[in-house]
Amino acid sequence: MNFYSLEEGTRLVHAARNAMELSIASREFKSDVVERTIPEFGQKHGVFVTIYHYPTNTLRGCVGFTEGMGEVKRLVIEAAVAAANEDPRFVPISHLEFEHSIMEVSVLSKAERMHGSTEQICKDVRVGRDGIIVEYGYNRGLLLPVVAVEQGWSARQFLENTCLKAGLPQHAWTNDSTYVFKFSTQVFKEVEPRGEVKEVHLETL
């Protein structure tokens, strides 16, 4: 799944970084200042922005939108600002820490509901390609494809941990009342702070 060229992905990563930097510098930041720099991204896709500490590559923030609730040019900026300032797992990122961070932008395909037996669902989840969403009642959890790759999970472990992310028992995905979805991503990431941007191919990690 390729939505964008490397050049376009680079522009999205740069816009995410610019939005973060301006939001850290001033509470009066207006998102349209950055949005006007990427006017061509009017498509509607889900978007996640992730911050990693450099050079350890440890997670520092990740926020996004699973559905294309708006244009990519707006969602990537909103996700970037929230990842820097509103991820409840972390304190807001400081300007000094920001300078030692790398940015990643993930563009999501439309989520596809999975059907069949538990064995079939396991078989249909491809680690390195698919992300997972689990829904049961008001509980909802999402894990991006990269998480399963980094953790070395099997498809079953990936499904179980997505349930835990949703605040559900790990085997909740086997319940007929639980909705399981999969999606794919196109990922662009800085090599170093303010450095070259590359497209990340998870299946080769």
| Residue 205 pLDDT greater than 80, yes or no | no
The arithmetic mean of pLDDT across residues 109-115, rounded, is 95
| Residue 3 pLDDT greater than 70, yes or no | yes
Query: In this predicted model, what pLDDT tens digit does every residue of 20-74 receive, in sequence order?
Result: 999 999 888 888 999 999 999 999 999 999 999 999 999 999 999 987 778 999 9
Superfamily of domain 112-183 in CATH is Hypothetical protein ph0010; domain 2 (3.30.1490.150)
> What's the confidence (pLDDT) of residue 67?
79
| Residue 1 pLDDT greater than 80, yes or no | no
> What's the confidence (pLDDT) of residue 203?
63
Does the fold of domain 112-183 match that of domain 6-109+185-204? no
Q: How far apart are CA 100 and CA 192, in angstroms?
A: 8
**What number does CATH give the domain 6-109+185-204?**
3.30.700.20
Query: Model's pTM, two decimal places?
Result: 0.93
> What's the confidence (pLDDT) of residue 2?
85
| Residue 184 pLDDT greater than 60, yes or no | yes
Query: In this predicted model, what pLDDT tens digit does every residue of 125-182 receive, in sequence order?
Result: 999 999 999 999 999 999 999 999 999 999 999 999 999 999 999 999 999 999 999 9
> What's the confidence (pLDDT) of residue 63?
96
Contact 52, 58 (CB under 8 A): yes
Instruction: Tell me the pLDDT band of 88, cut-offs 50, 70 and 90.
Output: very high
Domain-by-domain residue ranges, the chain? 6-109+185-204, 112-183
| Residue 76 pLDDT greater than 60, yes or no | yes
